[in-house]
Structure 1
Amino acid sequence: MAKGFNRPMGMGGGMGGGGMMSQFKKLQEQMEAAQARLTEMTVTSSVGGGAVQVTMTGDQRCKSVIIDPELLKDADADMLQDLILSAVNQALDKSRDLTSQEMGPLASGLPF
């Protein structure tokens, strides 16, 4: 038999023991709590000098789209579509950043 073959793993090695499972359970609970907070948190993106605003949750659900009525008087459909698309994409970026801020510290606790 090779030397060292059935030796118990040292500190931090292996997946055995209740300590590791306890850490995973705690991490899972923290991640679930962070995900719940993200559903309540919102970010808002504004484009066209505030003509179009999109509000999105941290779990990337669109909550509202607000269009300034003054924009509708002079706007053509293409311009309005571009503004809405831009506002939605910016709101998604902000929402992803928020998710990274909330979930990032938890990922550093993973043992891989």
Structure 2
Amino acid sequence: MFDKLMQVQQQAEEIKKRLDSITVKGEAEGGKISVSSTGNKNITSIQIDDEFFKSADKEELEELLAVAVNKALVQAENVHQTEMQALSSNMLGGLGNLFNG
């Protein structure tokens, strides 16, 4: 049983590494603000179109930046959940074999 638990822990580490390598984006104002995140929900970049930045007021910019960040985090959460569901499925399948075998 200890071997199975170690295997699950190793799979979890592999998933974490994979999630770090996945990039998702959230955009606002037709892509004039773009936020990138890893699958582990770490914001990696924020890009704001130069022309939009010059013409936007502070409040508008803050609101749209929050929209783009939240969209990126929702995408990251979706990817994260998919990976964790796969791990859970593998884990339950492996533990089921412990009790059947």
Normalising to structure 2: TM-score of the pair?
0.84
- 2:30 corresponds, among 34, 49, 52, to 49
For residue 27 of structure 2, give the secondary structure of its aligned residue in structure 1: strand
Q: Where does the alignment leave 5 or more consecutive residues of structure 2 unmatched? A: 96-101
- Map residues 79-94 of structure 1 onto 2, 5 A cutoff: 79-94=60-75
Aligned length: 93
Matched position secondary structure for 1:63? strand
Answer with 1 or 2: which has the greater Rg. Answer: 1
* Runs of 4+ deviating beyond 3 Å: none
* Cα distance in structure 2, aligned partners of 1:59 and 1:40: 9
Separation (CA, whole Å) in 2 of partners of 1:63 and 1:31? 22
Please report the RMSD computed on the Cα atoms of aligned residues, expressed in angstroms: 1.5
Where structure 1 has 5 or more consecutive residues not aligned to the other structure, the ranges are: 1-19
Per-residue displacement from partner, 1:5-38 (whole Å, max 9, x unpaired)? xxxxxxxxxxxxxxx2222111111111011111
Structure number having the greater helix percentage = 2
